[in-house]
Structure 1
Amino acid sequence: MEYLNITETAEKWGISPRRLQTLCANGKVEGATRFGKVWMIPKNTQKPIDGRTKASKDNMASLLKKDM
């Protein structure tokens, strides 16, 4: 499995490296693994939905309705 570091993944997702570190530490990034002091994220991992905004909550609600 190929991994990307915090800087590479943050650039790919359009967020700051610090925000990505927080997401990893809070368990929001699927497959993120910490090797010593370095977070590594699987290359094919999708960016998690940002739960801080109403638009993302509306999007999540529509996704859940679609699954039912």
Structure 2
Amino acid sequence: MGYLSIRQTSEKWNVSARWINDLCSRGRIPGAMKIGSYWAIPEDAEKPRDARLKTGKYIKDAIVRKEF
């Protein structure tokens, strides 16, 4: 199994290198490991689903509205 750098992975998945770094730091890419100050990402790793809210509204606001 080979490994890719953050830059190679960002080109493969068409997202920014900063976003890949954030995903690695949060443990969202299985098998990614830090070697010194660099991340090694398995070349067969799948792109994680985007967990950000798409609606533009916060969950907390939705819960408050339902309670009242």
| Higher relative helix content | 1
Q: CA RMSD in A?
A: 1.3
Q: Offset of 1:53 from its aligned partner? A: 3.8
Could you state the TM-score of these two structures normalised by the residue count of structure 1?
Answer: 0.76
Larger radius of gyration: 2
In the other structure, the counterpart of 1:27 is 27
What SS does the corresponding residue of 1:41 show, helix, strand or coil? strand
Identity of aligned residues (%): 44
In the other structure, the counterpart of 2:47 is 47
In the other structure, the counterpart of 2:6 is 6
What residue identity is the alignment partner of 1:39?
W
Deviations 1:6-50 (A, max 9, x none): 000011001100010000000001110000000010000000000
Give the paired residue count. 55
Q: Offset of 1:54 from its aligned partner? A: 3.7
Unaligned ranges ≥5, structure 1 = 56-68
Could you state the TM-score of these two structures normalised by the residue count of structure 2?
Answer: 0.76
What SS does the corresponding residue of 1:34 show, helix, strand or coil? strand
Runs of 4+ in 1 over 6 A off after TM superposition: none
